[in-house]
Amino acid sequence: MSTPEIVRLKNPVTEQDHASGPETAPVTLLEYGNFECIHCGRAYPVIKQIRKLLGEDLRFVFRHFPTVQTHPHSLRAAEAAESAASQQKFWQMHDELFTHQSALEDRALSRYAKRIGLNLERFANDMNEHSFLQRIEADYQRSLFDEHITGTPTIYLNDNRYTGATDLEDLLHAIKLSDTEGRIQLPEALHGLQSLLSRFR
């Protein structure tokens, strides 16, 4: 049986990326995501739990891949996240958008901006002027043509594309395998964590 081809990330993580966790972490989990995508919404609490579990041993990077044909509000949500990023609150907006996936129209986006304490005048101006649209669209094209991303979530672990399931156990196991330095120690009671996580949903 032939082993599946390893797909490598062509655009490495840079200072322009939204990254949480240290550069020195043994594993970087990069997600191409879409705030309106239901599968990204399901992966969101799993990745959040993993980030909490692994702490400094994981760097998490999020890249926008808004597919407007199937998710009409995804581009505006990405614009809102970039506006929040310009006020150093990307992750707070990221969490709001994934927590309220079914309400991503402009009025709701303004509500989230207020909730996380953004300068609302600046946020409204960014949204009206489409201040970050060009950057999002350029990143989208790069993802499409360089990385051949076709859907979300698309996940890379240390620059290798991950094609397995996005439940807690499978993803944690894959992260552990990606840790060539052997620094990550997983908790023994993974099954308990899995059932705890399902209660959150």
Per-residue pLDDT for 192 more than 70? no
* Token output for 2: 């032939």
C-alpha separations of 22 from 29, 89, 122, 123, 178 in Å:
12, 18, 30, 28, 16
Mean confidence (pLDDT) of the chain: 93
Q: What is the amino acid identity at position 117?
A: G
Question: Pick from 200, 151, 172: which is nearest to 29 by CA?
Answer: 172
Per-residue pLDDT for 194 more than 90? no
Query: Which one is the CATH code of 18-200: 3.30.460.20, 3.40.50.1820, 3.40.30.10, 3.30.1640.10?
Result: 3.40.30.10
Block residue for tokens 């991503």:
104
Domain ranges in the chain are: 18-200
- Contact predicate 46/172, CB 8 Å: no
Helix axes 90-99, 106-115, angle to 10 degrees: 130
* Token output for 178: 């990606």
> By percentage, how much of the chain surpasses pLDDT 70?
92
> By percentage, how much of the chain surpasses pLDDT 90?
89
- Contact predicate 79/86, CB 8 Å: no
pLDDT per residue as tens digits for the range 35-71? 999 999 999 999 999 999 999 999 999 999 999 999 9
* Token output for 128: 């009206």
Per-residue pLDDT for 201 more than 60? no
Average pLDDT over residues 174-184: 95
pLDDT per residue as tens digits for the range 146-174? 999 999 999 999 999 999 999 999 999 99
Block residue for tokens 């997600």:
31
Q: How confident is the model at residue 5 (pLDDT cuts 50, 70, 90)?
A: confident
Q: How confident is the model at residue 186 (pLDDT cuts 50, 70, 90)?
A: confident
Q: Tell me, what's the pLDDT at 49?
A: 96
CA dihedral (67, 70, 72, 73) in degrees, to 10, reads -70
Rounded Cα–Cα distance for residues 77 and 74 (Å)? 5
Block residue for tokens 């979300």:
152
Per DSSP, the chain holds a count of helices (H) and strands (E) of 8, 5
